Structure 1
Amino acid sequence: MSGHSVPMTSSRERAGSAYNGYLMLAIFSAITLAVVFMIIGAIPPEGAAKSVKLAFVGTLVTGALAVLFGLIGFFMIQPNQAAVITLFGEYRGTVRKEGLQWVWPWMIKQKVSVRAHNIHSEKVKINDLRGNPIEVACNVVWRVSDTAQAVFDVDDYKEFVNIQIEAGLRTVGARHPYDDMSDDDKTTLRGSADVVNAELREELNERLAVAGIVVDEAGLTHLAYAPEIAGAMLRRQQADAVIAARKKVVIGAVSMVEDALAKLSQDGIIDLDDERKAAMVSNLMVVLCGDREAHPVVNTGTLYQ
């Protein structure tokens, strides 16, 4: 017999109703004063029967409990805060109106902050597209957009966010190489920050949608090779830099030699045959491309001796 998973029903936030807390506070204050005056007027005289005294005590306790019970229904809503109202386990709506509010005391109120939260993740060690171990971390700005989903569809939405940030970071980090090692690497983690950050934000929004959470901003804050390969990759980057510098030096030297030969020929300073041109080009390239200072050698004869 094969089992079938039951799809989870997604909750949806709806507006909840609450009474104006300031009005209810005035009403309860008036009721409290009335109860106090009634109790004062009902104080039994000395020598009253025991039953009368017990009735007075019962009235006093009942009035005090009624007032205290009514005060339980008051709650305050701060700016960018909401209160999820439930009645015997049933969702009865979300109150977002700021200020003092009042609901029936048997209704449970759970406050949820809808302000922007900022999380800087821990460094996560992952493998990039080429399998190189790297360390990455990110900064995420998120907020609760649907309080019903955040409270009822996940167990702990804040812990859920932390776990999904790490999972999303691993997913996006594994899609691209750390650096462009070939011409096919169009998007890299190091060189395509805007693209990678946009992918990370989209990935997190998809993962956190089930909890009614929206990611406003996400971006990498740390990116480096893992310590075990950092030295080798540093030497590779240094080699790439040396090759690029050598290439630029050679191109510049060739241009300078070409200009020198053209100038000598144009001004008629000296008429060089192919062999002398080759020797001159060789000498100039050695001087211009060499790492060490050139030491001239005086030739008192001719090129052919």
Structure 2
Amino acid sequence: MKEEKIIVPANGYLMLFVFLVLFIGGIAAVVAYKNPWFVLSIATALFIALGFIMVQPNNSRVLLLFGKYVGSIKKNGFYWTNPFYTKKKISLRASNFDSERLKVNDKLGNPVMISTILVWRVQNTYKAAFDVDNYENFVRVQTDAAVRKLASMYPYDNFADEGLAEDITLRSSVNEVSEALEKEIDERLSIAGIEVLEARIGYLAYAQEIANAMLKRQQATAIVAARHKIVEGAVSMVEMALEELSKKQIVDLDEERKAAMVSNLMVILCGDKDASPIVNAGTLNH
């Protein structure tokens, strides 16, 4: 397979001077001498004019001679090339691509809506022009394919009951997922001479049919986690209270009264509402 060949054509300003001499001189000679042979000078000048080419910054021209690749011009400027060359313009500027929102299944089989934002540019003009049919359409199709593959590799989110606490997820592991996506797209687009500058998730959400159920599940998971912390803290506080009472010998509690005290404290500390204390005006036994 051929590789990209960078060329620098002839100076365009020099050939512009030759064009003006032949064109203006030919017209003047025809008028002055009435000789039709001077028309050849005008025709030659017009033929030379077909070879002028202007390359703007961050643009390129791929040159072909009767179907044969001649080279690529990447340096901006005003040039003159063989008039028989076919010139194909390829932009070297960075381009943004915001993919459509795709409905795919994550690692757990849950349907999610996902899209990606891709920043890319052409690095190899030969591959972009000849190794793929349409490099811009190639970028779109391969990006969608890479996003579908990426979504199937990771779960949308972690759930404690599924043992995924250590896994990378689409929602929380933004940097890891972006790196994996960029690597996957870069490998796919290298055949077209495309350089991936940045790739990241632009939109991510559960599909509409399961969005409400998953929201309730996330809320339930959060409530369970909060309750776990509350109970853990309550047990620690009850333990500290019993130790301090025993250490300072404020009151001597038997096992039955300790159990009652623990029960009351746990109810107070773990309850959703503030407790309403009842003051016992009699003895502890009445």
TM-score bucket of the superposed structures, by smaller chain:
over 0.9
How big is each residue's C-alpha offset from its partner over 1:160-183, in whole Å with a ceiling of 9 and x where there is no partner? 101111011001111111111233
Q: Which runs of 5+ in 2 are unaligned?
A: none
Q: How does 1:113-152 map to 2 (within 5 A)?
A: 113-152=91-130
Q: Does 1:90 align with 2:68?
A: yes
4+ residue stretches of structure 1 with deviation over 4 A?
300-305
| TM-score, length-scaled by structure 1 | 0.88
Offset, 1:293: 2.2
How big is each residue's C-alpha offset from its partner over 1:252-273, in whole Å with a ceiling of 9 and x where there is no partner? 1111112222222222221111
Residue identity in the other structure for 2:140: N
Match of 1:7 in 2: none
Note the aligned Cα RMSD (angstroms). Answer: 1.7
Return the match for 2:209 from 208, 221, 228: 228
Q: Does 1:285 align with 2:266?
A: yes
Q: How does 1:134-283 map to 2 (within 5 A)?
A: 134-181=112-159, 182-184=162-164, 185-283=166-264
Q: Distance in 2 between matches of 1:96 and 1:23?
A: 20
Residue identity in the other structure for 1:295: S
Match of 1:42 in 2: 33
Residue identity in the other structure for 2:89: K
Residue identity in the other structure for 1:66: T
How big is each residue's C-alpha offset from its partner over 1:255-299, in whole Å with a ceiling of 9 and x where there is no partner? 111222222222222111111111111101101110122122334
Rg larger in structure: 1
How big is each residue's C-alpha offset from its partner over 1:179-225, in whole Å with a ceiling of 9 and x where there is no partner? 11233451111121111111111111111111111112111111110
Q: Distance in 1 between matches of 2:13 and 2:258?
A: 100
Q: Distance in 1 between matches of 2:169 and 2:219?
A: 19
Q: Distance in 2 between matches of 1:272 and 1:201?
A: 66
Q: Indicate conservation of the 8 Å contact 2:22/2:44, yes or no.
A: no
Offset, 1:303: 5.0
Q: Does 1:296 align with 2:263?
A: no
Q: Indicate conservation of the 8 Å contact 2:95/2:120, yes or no.
A: yes
Q: Distance in 1 between matches of 2:280 and 2:143?
A: 73
Q: Does 1:23 align with 2:3?
A: no
Q: Distance in 2 between matches of 1:254 and 1:131?
A: 39
Q: Percent identity?
A: 47
Offset, 1:12: 1.5
Match of 2:87 in 1: 109
Most deviating of 71-80 and 11-20: 11-20
Offset, 1:64: 3.4
Q: Distance in 1 between matches of 2:2 and 2:193?
A: 9
Offset, 1:157: 0.5
How big is each residue's C-alpha offset from its partner over 1:6-41, in whole Å with a ceiling of 9 and x where there is no partner? xxxx44211234111111112212222321221222
Q: Distance in 1 between matches of 2:75 and 2:185?
A: 29
Residue identity in the other structure for 1:132: N
Q: How many residues align?
A: 283
Q: How does 1:3-14 map to 2 (within 5 A)?
A: 10-14=1-5
Q: Distance in 2 between matches of 1:212 and 1:302?
A: 89
Secondary structure of residue in 2 paired with 1:174: helix
Offset, 1:122: 1.1
Offset, 1:226: 0.3
Secondary structure of residue in 1 paired with 2:60: strand
Secondary structure of residue in 1 paired with 2:153: coil
Residue identity in the other structure for 1:98: N
Q: Distance in 2 between matches of 1:191 and 1:303?
A: 54
Secondary structure of residue in 2 paired with 1:288: helix
Offset, 1:82: 1.1
Q: Distance in 2 between matches of 1:162 and 1:177?
A: 24
Q: Which runs of 5+ in 1 are unaligned?
A: 1-9, 44-54
Q: Indicate conservation of the 8 Å contact 2:128/2:194, yes or no.
A: yes
